[in-house]
Homo-oligomer: A and B are copies of this chain.
Amino acid sequence: MKALVVGGSGYSGGELLRILRGHGKVDSVEATSRTYKGKPVSDVHTNLKGICDETFEEYDAGKADCDIAFLALPHGEGMEHAPALLQKGIKVVDLGADYRIKDAAVYERYYGKHKNPELLSKAVYGLPELFREKIRKAQLVANPGCYATAAILAIAPASKFKDKIDAERIIVDAKSGTSGAGVKPSEFLHHSEVADNIKAYKVTGHRHQPEMDSIIGQLIPHASVSFTPTLIPVVRGILSDTHMFCKLTLDDLKRQYSEFYGKERFVRIVENVYTKNVLYSNYCDISVHLDDEKGRAVIVSAIDNLVKGAAGQAVQNMNLMMGYGEAEGIDSLPYHP
């Protein structure tokens, strides 16, 4: 099987190349990059020196010859390429935001005008734990945002308790490492500015909020998610606290969360959530807490933003779309320490 990574020089692209390289069903991987065309992949991803020394190509839809294409591009660029690829019968997983939000008006408010809004209804939201069957049949999968993955997996099981939670006031307070902000140098992400620092940013108005609302709204009518991220001086990892006021016992919650994810390979219900327990793996760890006195449930979830929050989940989606084992190529285990 042939895979194509469009935009292979960023962090998600690099992680994709790394994973696909070791994937038993993938015979060849081609990577494109406008900036680095003609240069060896391992000049950019120096971890792959001697392993992935092929050069980046320039993307050319006409010549694209593959079974599946991953679009690892800045928001707004994926939609320039998806239609042509789909027309050639190539399956597409977009790691950007272009097909995550069904409502074109909402998309436009947060990202700008959509170029092919007719595809929005055809795209499947690529969160396998919730939409596995649809993904199997999809031609176009919108890979979820990293924050959205952590938040939605934390909230989804609570959909059982629609009437017992204050669904209109769900608060997601997420802490993320810097790799989620990408490979491009800036003052905001300069080491001396980030290290030893905890930085508030996009305290309100983050683009993943409508994405959470869109998906959670399908599970819990009238639900409304309020989202705030914080930049933490680590490279990888998101730890997300979801605060929900409710009339439930801790037992109710724990039982439901354990059942909901009982058969999932990549979701673990644990006592204590630490990002390091999931880094470099496709796992999402979740813990369930209740403040009896206040009637507040807290669901803590953690993922590696570049694996379960991007490239790993993209390959999980590919595995479903292509009929492979769901964990193929993404079964590596997290590390200690």
Q: Least Cβ distance of A176 to chain B in Å?
A: 9
Q: Are A241 and B173 in contact (CB under 8 A)?
A: yes
- Choose from B171, B186, B298 the contact partner of A243 (Cβ within 8 Å): B171
Q: Are B48 and A203 in contact (CB under 8 A)?
A: no
**Which residues of B are found within 8 Å of A190, using beta-carbon distances?**
183, 185, 189-191
State in angstroms the CA–CA spacing of A333 and B332 once bound together.
11
**A280 in the interface, Cβ–Cβ < 8 Å?**
yes
Least CB separation from A285: chain B residue: B49
Q: Least Cβ distance of A137 to chain B in Å?
A: 29
Q: Are B198 and A239 in contact (CB under 8 A)?
A: yes
Q: How many copies does the complex hold?
A: 4
State in angstroms the CA–CA spacing of A300 and B230 once bound together.
10
Q: Are A200 and B276 in contact (CB under 8 A)?
A: no
- Choose from B197, B226, B290, B336 the contact partner of A276 (Cβ within 8 Å): B197
Q: Are A294 and B22 in contact (CB under 8 A)?
A: no
**Given known contacts A175-B232, A234-B195, A280 and B335 CB-to-CB distance under 8 angstroms:** yes
**A204 in the interface, Cβ–Cβ < 8 Å?**
yes
State in angstroms the CA–CA spacing of A230 and B174 once bound together.
10
Q: Least Cβ distance of A29 to chain B in Å?
A: 13
Least CB separation from A180: chain B residue: B192
Q: Are A298 and B204 in contact (CB under 8 A)?
A: yes
Q: Are B198 and A291 in contact (CB under 8 A)?
A: no
Which residues of chain A in 135-185 are interfacial with respect to chain B, using CB atoms and an 8 Å cutoff?
Answer: 166, 169, 171, 173, 175, 177-179, 183, 185
Counting from the closest, the 3 A-B pairs by CB-CB distance are A204-B291, A192-B337, A185-B185
